[in-house]
Amino acid sequence: MRLAAEIDGGVFPLEVVEEGGRYLVRAGGEEIRVDARQTGEGLWSVLIDGTSVLAEVTEGDGMFGVTVGDEHYRIAVEEETRYALRTRGGAGHASGQVVKAPMPGRVVLIEVAVGQAVEPGLGLVVLEAMKMENEFKATVAGTVKEIRVEPGQAVNPGDVMLVIE
């Protein structure tokens, strides 16, 4: 399984392969063998390449907080294709953003209106593709100039859904 892991603001591609209840994780050219067992509420015993560690895991705001010893990480993990759809669906440029459909799908929700001011990170359009809902967010600050789709409408790759100036 190919994943995108956001760890403390950086995004890293991962490949995870199950091997008889254990996992082989490929990251940055390295292979790491991992076995993890939940030992209590939010507590995990993790064996990483033969080294045992205890991890405390909390969840909130769509991210996991992971504490190992005195080190703390904020982590979000997403299937690589979904991450690519979410982050590459909007092509930002100096004068604004044009949000195009990256693949065939159906518009589920439009979260903004023409004339509305937007900031980076604000949800714009939700597209259902391959039985998954993908939210496209603003990558620039600006004003919604055009909305070229409506809920329920089918779109094809490259169709412009929304324009921000």
What element of type H or E holds 125? strand 123-129
Asked whether the predicted pLDDT for residue 57 surpasses 90, the reply is yes
Instruction: For residue range 75-130, list pLDDT tens digits in order.
Output: 888 887 777 766 655 444 446 888 888 788 899 999 999 999 999 889 999 999 87
d(CA 34, CA 99): 39
CB 91 within 8 A of CB 116: no
Residue ranges, CATH 3.30.700.30, the chain = 2-80
SS (H, E, C) 51-75: EEEEEEEEEECCEEEEEECCEEEEE
- For the entire predicted model, the pTM comes to 0.50
Asked whether the predicted pLDDT for residue 131 surpasses 60, the reply is yes
What class has domain 2-80?
A: alpha beta
d(CA 118, CA 97): 11
Average pLDDT over all residues of the chain: 86
What class has domain 89-164?
A: mainly beta
Instruction: For residue range 34-47, list pLDDT tens digits in order.
Output: 999 999 999 999 99
Residue ranges, CATH 2.40.50.100, the chain = 89-164
3-state secondary structure at position 86: helix
